[in-house]
Amino acid sequence: MQINGQTKIVGIIGDPVKHSRSPQMHNAAFNHLKLNLVYVPFHVKPESLGEAIKGMKALDMVGLNVTVPHKIEVMKYLDEISPAAGIIGAVNTIYVKDNRLIGDNTDGYGFVRALVEDEGITIAGKTIVVLGSGGSARAIGHALLQERIRMLIFCNRTISKANEMARSFETQTQGAFVASMGITDNRAEIIRADILINATSVGMKQNDPLLIDPAWIRKGQVVCDIIYSPPQTLLLQKAKKRGAKTINGLGMLVHQGALSFEIWTGCPAPVEIMRKAILDAD
C-alpha cells in the first residue's frame, strides 16, 4: 500500500473497535483495485461521537462504517438518512455526497446477498423464521421483505419486542405475512419454515444454550446464523446433523462490507478478495 499526498481515508468507528476485521477486508480490496484509499479503525467513545462525525468533512473523508454502540446515536449527526437506514433505525455506513453526510445500512442487504450470491438460495416465496428482535433482526427483516417472501415470523425472548417489530413492518410487508411470537412456543413455525435465521448473539460464547430444540429442524431447511466466530455455532452443528443446509455469518460480514465498498467507490467489490482477507485475519 502506497500512501501519498492524494490518499483518502475511509474507516470504522466503534467502542471497542480493535477486534474488527473490516480494516483487513477493505484494505485488501483497495489494494487489489489499486484505489488510493486507506481504511483505518477509530476507537471513538460515545461522548466524542459528534466531534468525530463532524471531523469527517473537515478531513475530506470518503466515508465510515459504524459499529456498536454508535449505530443508532450517530443518526442525529448526519445530514440525511437513506430510506433503508430510516426504516431499520440504524446506520452502519456513512458516505459524503455534495458535502453532505449520508447514513445508510448495508447489514440486511449484505445478509440477503450472501444467501443469494454465495449459496444460490431463492428467497422469493419462502417462509422465514427469525430468532431475535434487535438491530440485526430488524435489518435482516427489512431486506427480506424486499424479496417477495411469503411469510416472516420474528421470535424473541422478550415477546413485546417481537410484537413491536412485526407492527413496525405492518405498512411495508410487500405482500408478505409478518408475525411475532415468543422464543419457546414456535415449534410448529420452525418445522414449517424454509429458512431459519439466528439473529441473536446467542451462540457466540462457548456455553451458550440452544434457543430452539434441534429436533424441530428437518432435512431440506436452510439454517443461518449471523455469528461467524465461532464458524459453527451449536445451532449450526445440530442443524447440520439434522440434514439442514447451514450458513454462518461470514457471508453477511463480507457482503455488508462489499455493499459499503460499492457505495464509497462506485466500483464492484472484489468479494472473494475481501472474504480471503477476513479468513486470513484469523
What amino acid occupies position 225?
D
Number of Cβ within 10 Å of residue 57's Cβ equals 13
* Residue 201 found at the interface with ligand ATR (CB under 6 A): yes
Residues in the chain: 282
Number of Cβ within 10 Å of residue 98's Cβ equals 6
Distance of closest approach, residue 187 Cβ to ligand ATR, in angstroms: 16
Residue number with CB closer to ligand ATR (211 or 223): 211
Residue number with CB closer to ligand ATR (131 or 195): 131
Q: Could you tell me how many residues of this chain bind ligand ATR (CB under 6 A)?
A: 15
Distance of closest approach, residue 68 Cβ to ligand ATR, in angstroms: 7
Q: Transcribe 146-181 into DSSP letters.
A: TTT-SEEEEEESSHHHHHHHHHHTGGG-TT-EEEEE
The answer to whether residues 17 and 67 touch, using CB atoms and an 8 Å cutoff, is yes
The C-alpha cell at 102 is 449520508
Distance of closest approach, residue 161 Cβ to ligand ATR, in angstroms: 5
Residue number with CB closer to ligand ATR (148 or 205): 205
Measuring CA to CA, how many Å separate 29 from each of 33, 35, 38, 115?
A: 6, 8, 10, 21
Residue number with CB closer to ligand ATR (166 or 202): 202
* Residue 65 found at the interface with ligand ATR (CB under 6 A): no
Residue number with CB closer to ligand ATR (27 or 133): 133
Residue number with CB closer to ligand ATR (57 or 205): 205
- Known catalytic residues? 71
Rounded Cα distance between 108 and 121, Å, is 16
Q: 3-class SS at 65?
A: strand
Distance of closest approach, residue 6 Cβ to ligand ATR, in angstroms: 37
In what helix (H) or strand (E) does residue 55 lie, and over which residues does it extend? Answer: helix 49-58
Binding segment toward ligand ATR, per CB under 6 A, in 111-119, 186-194, 200-208, 272-280: 200-208
Residue 65 forms beta bridges with which residues? 12, 93
Residue whose Cβ sits closest to ligand ATR: 134
Rounded Cα distance between 90 and 76, Å, is 11
Q: Compose the 154-183 pattern: x for residues touching ligand ATR by CB under 6 A, - for all others.
A: --xxx--x---------------------x
Tell me: cis bond preceding 230? Omega within 30 of 0 counts. yes
Kindly tell me which residue out of 91, 102, 155, 202 binds ligand ATR, with binding defined by CB under 6 A.
Answer: 202
Distance of closest approach, residue 277 Cβ to ligand ATR, in angstroms: 23
Distance of closest approach, residue 226 Cβ to ligand ATR, in angstroms: 8
* Residue 135 found at the interface with ligand ATR (CB under 6 A): yes
The C-alpha cell at 77 is 449527526
State the DSSP code for 210.
P
Kindly tell me which residue out of 200, 221, 248, 256 binds ligand ATR, with binding defined by CB under 6 A.
Answer: 200
Interface residues with ligand ATR (CB under 6 A)? Answer: 132-137, 156-158, 161, 183, 200-202, 211
